[in-house]
Structure 1
């Protein structure tokens, strides 16, 4: 019975062992098949990471430049390799930033101005709507210029004349209406237009322009009478050395204006003729590049004044022989000599206040009853103070040398507030001339605490100095 049971169990065990063997074989084969059918691992085209580098580097010769990017990976959606994403490393960003700075410096790191090379930008026929654009360009570029204005235009746009003056540019006289027939038929006609424009500018700025530029230039227009009498009357006639060509025809393109303006960059002194009258938009367009070219060539920028040696064209044969109505001796005696006195015998007034010094040119100040009278804003701001115009009270509010001063032309007084808050009121010679406040120089300096004074007059200048 027992033997029979053993014989019965043995086949069952053998069958079980055989089934287990089959199962193990099947599982192993499936695993091998699964392994052999897995996707091959993605090969990273990466060199070993340098110690402590914190970034991956591409192999030499790789199509990517050195940089960090995300490793290739399987797309879960499509099972495709995604393209690597380029990210600039801090080191590379620094290189790019340095390159940008170098490029910027290359544009702005211009040679220092050569004191022996100066360019004088001059603008004729304004002011017009273009003048505002020109003034903005000059402000952005940090340069000054000289504007030869027409009285007819100045009368229509006094705010632009005031802006030219307030921004530190020089103003010259370009006659009233630019009419050649009127101006060159005889000297008295020319004189009449000069005086008409002079009064318009004086009423706006308080200053008489001493510089004159003849419309069309002096060549072919002036004879010796024009030159001689204008000089005797205290004026300085100024032509130019370089013509930008912007008025040779209507609509001269900016590229042509630029080319003519910078044709000769070797001269030590350049007086460049440009125009800011109506229709000269292209001149304003060319102006920034003109300025940059002269800066790159090492030129300093200056403004013309009557103390300079004038540049004048010669008298042409035709002008010398032209038949004109000349002024009489009585007319000359009544007009020329007295006019010169308006410019205080041609002497500049030097002001030396503490460590600062400035100079007022003839026409920028006057002498009345032995006292110097000066434009308030021009003097205070040149000597380190600040002036604000109060249109409501029509007074000038000055902050200078630790004091606040109110200049009141209506009451003829200065109200002074010291650093301690104490206030005092003084009678003073304060006048409105045009749109400018003028004051007694002595009264202004004393109000600001700059007295006592010493004064001197030499053959070259007048000088006022505070001790």
Structure 2
């Protein structure tokens, strides 16, 4: 009961902050190798910024996964701070195509995490919905029930189709992409897109209402984007009159981001 009251108060406080700012931004993080996760959390606390995290069980630098027991205290702390959570599919499952109805329908997929990493497979709509629900159950287990996933998801790579979005919607999930200027570039080559260039571009191009995308660690980037860019970006955007809110305060996605994740279908 106490946790539910605290969560409600956090949402109300966030809504009040967003309502008091004419230039809101919605910073989101997808999981990754988690190498920069402690530094990200430190910056967010220092800057008093609430964000939306999209959770998948991805391989970490220590050989574990981003949703294993070692990371449970980290996620529990973020829940206590009032951040919002969405699904990123448990095994970071990439959509690769729709299957024809004559072949049974569903989707061609390929996970980039978990026991079937890199193995092409098919999923029915029901199986895809079950995959979306798995991070919600794991978040509840890691946080002792204090962390509640919202009914929002982000498909890995942002790769979707109308058929996949419709299937997810039928089982209660709303997809969240990102704004063009909100692609913060932490997945790009460090040589071609150094941190200084990414920071300059973001400060120049981001506009009020944008959804921003970053990660908690990218394997391919040698010069880590966070925290080198994160804090200067936040302070620079604040200096331009922006404020930060979770997707629970978003004008069109807020209803879904305030709704609990759908329960898995038995």
> Shorter-chain TM-score category?
0.5 to 0.7
Which of 128, 132, 136 is the aligned partner of 1:190? Answer: 128
The question of 1:155 aligning with 2:52 is answered no
Residue number in structure 1 paired with 2:208: 268
Partner of 1:198, secondary structure, is helix
Q: Give the CA deviation at 1:304.
A: 0.9
> Is contact 2:26–2:211 with CA below 8 Å preserved after alignment?
yes
Does the CA-based 8 Å contact 1:114-1:298 persist in structure 2? no
- Aligned equivalent of 1:277: 217
TM-aligned CA distance change 1:301 to 1:118, over 3 Å: same
TM-score (norm 2): 0.66
How far off is 1:204 after superposition?
2.2
Alpha-carbon distance, 1:249 to partner = 3.1
> For the Cα contact (< 8 Å) 1:182–1:189, is it kept in 2?
no
If you compute each CA radius of gyration, which structure gives the higher value, 1 or 2?
Answer: 1
Instruction: Quote how far apart the aligned CAs of 1:250 are.
Output: 5.8
Residues 1:260 and 1:310: Cα distance change in structure 2 (over 3 Å): farther
CA–CA distance in 1 between the matches of 2:247 and 2:33?
A: 18
| Corresponding pairs, count | 203
Higher RCO (Cα < 8 Å, 6 or more apart) = 2
Aligned to 1:318: none
Residue 210 (str. 1) matches residue 151 (str. 2): yes
RMSD between aligned residues: 3.0
| Residue aligned with 1:239, SS | coil
Out of 134, 153, 165, which is 2:79 matched to?
165
**Aligned-pair CA distance for 1:114:** 6.6
SS of the residue 2:229 aligns to: helix
Contact 1:151–1:201 (CA under 8 A) maintained in structure 2: no
1-side partners of 2:25 and 2:35: how far apart?
25
| 3-state SS of 1:272 partner | strand
TM superposition outliers: structure 1 runs of 4+ over 6 Å: none
Alignment-derived partner of residue 121 in structure 1: 27
Deviations 1:145-175 (A, max 9, x none): 1111213411251112112111111111111
Counterpart position of 2:197: 256
Correspondence for 1:237: 175
Higher strand share: 1
Gaps of 5+ in 2: 1-18, 59-65, 95-108, 112-120
- CA distance in 2 between counterparts of 1:209 and 1:135 reads 20
Deviation string 1:319-364 (CA, Å, 9 cap, x unpaired) is xxxxxxxxxxxxxxxxxxxxxxxxxxx799xxxxxxxxxxxx4329
Does 2:222 align with 1:287? no
